[in-house]
Amino acid sequence: MRGDDPWLPLTPTLSHKGRGNSAVPANIFSVGVDLGGSWIRLEAVDPTGRRVRSLKYPSPTLSELPSFLKKRFRAWKARPRLLFVASRGVWTPSERSQLKESLRSLAKTVTVMSDVEAAWYTAFGSQGAGIRSG
């Protein structure tokens, strides 16, 4: 670990291929972030939807998230077009807006929602379970 910065030891990986470090920057189109109470998970995909980077690491706090992602994107040599963040602790519109504002310099389009909302959309889509039945 270098200095007191816990994010510096992170290295770019192509974890789905198991190749370890990569000197060649990936063509990162979008990044999905799942910020939970214990872990943060990132998945980066190229314009075709192919996973090109992923990460699982102990969770930063909400206030540390912008710095964490900035350092991660710098290490990945990436400026994604889309950033989607599903996080614990962002329940109110004000909390979501504040987090979105703090992340807006990292991607062209930033979406923030609670992790519970993201799980619901993943399970049921935008129409909900009741509409899909039948």
**CA gyration radius for the chain?**
16
Q: What tokens were used for 49?
A: 């939807």
Query: Which pLDDT belongs to residue 25?
Result: 55
Chain segment 75-128, per-residue pLDDT in tens: 999 999 999 999 998 989 999 999 999 999 999 999 999 999 998 888 887 654
Query: Which pLDDT belongs to residue 130?
Result: 44
CA distances, 121 to each of 56, 83, 114, 115, 129 (Å)? 22, 17, 11, 10, 10
Between strands 51-58 and 39-45, the pairing is antiparallel
Report whether pLDDT(132) > 60. no
Q: Give the start-to-end residue ranges of the domains of the chain.
A: 30-54+61-132
The CATH superfamily assigned to 30-54+61-132 is ATPase, nucleotide binding domain (3.30.420.40)
Grade residue 51 by pLDDT with cuts at 50, 70 and 90.
Answer: very high
Task: Identify which of 99, 88, 86 has the alpha carbon closest to the alpha carbon of residue 43.
Answer: 86
State the pTM of this model: 0.75
Report whether pLDDT(26) > 80. no
Report whether pLDDT(134) > 80. no
Q: What's the N-to-C CA distance of the chain in angstroms?
A: 56
Report whether pLDDT(34) > 50. yes
Residue in this structure with the two tokens 């799980």, named with its chain if needed: 119
Query: Which pLDDT belongs to residue 127?
Result: 55
Query: Which pLDDT belongs to residue 22?
Result: 47
DSSP percent split of the chain into helix, strand, coil, nearest 5? 30, 25, 45
Chain segment 7-20, per-residue pLDDT in tens: 433 434 444 443 44
Query: Which pLDDT belongs to residue 41?
Result: 96
Residue in this structure with the two tokens 């899909």, named with its chain if needed: 132
Q: Hey, CA dihedral for 127, 129, 131, 134, is it positive or negative?
A: positive
